[in-house]
Amino acid sequence: MVLLSKRLPSLLAVRPVRRRKILRSLEGYLFISPWIIGSLAFSLGPILAALGVSFMRWTIEGTPRFIGLSNYVTMFTYDPRYLKSLRVTLTYVLVGVPLQLLVALGMAVLLNQRVKGQNVFRTIFYMPAVVSGVAASILWQWMFQPDFGIINNLLKTTVGIQGPQWLYSEEWALPSMMIMKCWGVGATMVIFLAVLQDVPQHLYEAAELDGAGRWSKFRHVTLPMISPVIFFNMVMGIIGGFQTFTPGYVMTRGGPADATLFYALYLYYNAFEYSKMGYAAAMAWVLFVIILVITLIQFWGSRRWVYYYAGEAR
């Protein structure tokens, strides 16, 4: 009894403290409740609904009918256009995304030099990134026009060669879109530029004392120091590459001969032109799994080449 009487005031004092913590937590959840409700209603809910629809045969007008794994089996066995769209997208990702990263990094390195009018050049090179995808696609569609497009005219007047058919050629249509995407890498360039300015100068000075030239400093100092940002841009670029839709839809409608039939474009056709909602939902989930697996592989492989600089030891 004596011990209980001594501890009773402290126990009573704990309850108000816990009550205040609970009230603060409830206040926090109350403030973020619009975001939670919106995510559940407009993100998680449709995702789970799409998973259920992927096991059904359903047109928008008709009644859904459960067919099990038939949509998934059809994709990989009876639909050659699906496999073509997957090959086109993989080619675009494996070739186009590294090319875009190289262009963005090269631009960032050049714009990181101390020259007169530096900010003006940075603004000019960033401006294409704010142009909408539809506007950029229409602009480059005119530029790639084989008869009166500016690119073929420049090739003819300056080099004296006849340019290819570009978007009208099965061989050049996809490379044309890769070239176009390199024009709009301003956002990636800005991220590279920011991290280049954050590389410690004393590392370059130490490399110069060891006799390193420009290429050696770039290879052994710059690249390791910016490797986390290279990894970030690579992950985001690959995810965005698998979701490419606008250029194929606006410029070629997937042609010629399905040469630019991107995965997302074929998914759109199945859902809203062929009214195969179940098949399109199955394609969406396969795309999700592909992106997830590739992203996990990238994170696993990043341990071998991504270097995280912790700063000076203190």
The 3-class secondary structure across the chain, one letter per residue, is CHHHHHHHHHHHHHHHHHHHHHHHHHHHHHHHHHHHHHHHHHHHHHHHHHHHHCCEECCCCCCCEECCCHHHHHHHHCCHHHHHHHHHHHHHHHHHHHHHHHHHHHHHHHHCCCCCCHHHHHHHHHHHHHCCHHHHHHHHHHHCCCCCCHHHHHHHHHHCCCCCCHHHCCCCHHHHHHHHHHHCCHHHHHHHHHHHCCCCHHHHHHHHHCCCCHHHHHHHHHHHHHHHHHHHHHHHHHHHHHCCCHHHHHHHCCCCCCCCCCHHHHHHHHHHHCCCHHHHHHHHHHHHHHHHHHHHHHHHHHCCCCCCCCCCCC
Integer Cα distance of 158 and 16 in angstroms: 82
The one-digit pLDDT tens for each residue of the chain (314 residues) are 554 455 545 544 556 767 778 888 888 888 899 988 988 888 888 889 999 999 999 988 888 899 999 999 999 999 999 999 999 999 999 999 999 999 999 999 999 988 888 889 899 999 999 999 999 999 999 999 998 899 999 999 888 888 899 999 999 999 999 999 999 999 999 999 999 999 998 999 899 988 888 899 999 999 999 999 999 999 999 999 999 999 999 999 999 999 999 999 999 999 999 999 999 999 999 999 999 999 999 999 999 999 987 765 44
Provide the pLDDT for residue 6. 52
pTM, entire model = 0.87
Which pLDDT value is given to residue 7?
A: 53
pLDDT of residue 63: 86
pLDDT score of 27: 84
Q: Is the torsion defined by CA of 229, 230, 231, 236 positive or negative? A: positive
Helical pair 118-126 and 97-111, crossing angle rounded to 10 deg = 160
Interatomic CA distance for residues 53 and 263, integer angstroms: 19
Distance of CA 313 to CAs 9, 111, 204, 309, 310, Å?
48, 31, 18, 11, 8
pLDDT at 151: 94
Peptide bond before residue 256 is cis, with ω within 30 degrees of 0: yes
Taking residue 144's Cβ as centre, other Cβ atoms within 10 Å add up to: 25
Sketch the domain layout of the chain as residue ranges.
2-53, 70-302
| Among candidate residues 46, 69, 67, the one with its CA nearest the CA of residue 58 | 67
**Which tokens belong to 162?**
């006849």
Nearest to 189 by CA among 130, 248, 239: 130
Give the model's pLDDT for residue 314: 41
Hey, what CATH class is 70-302 in? Answer: mainly alpha
pLDDT at 15: 65
From the list 302, 291, 270, the residue with the least C-alpha distance to 90 is 291
Reading the block at residue 299, the tokens are: 């994170």
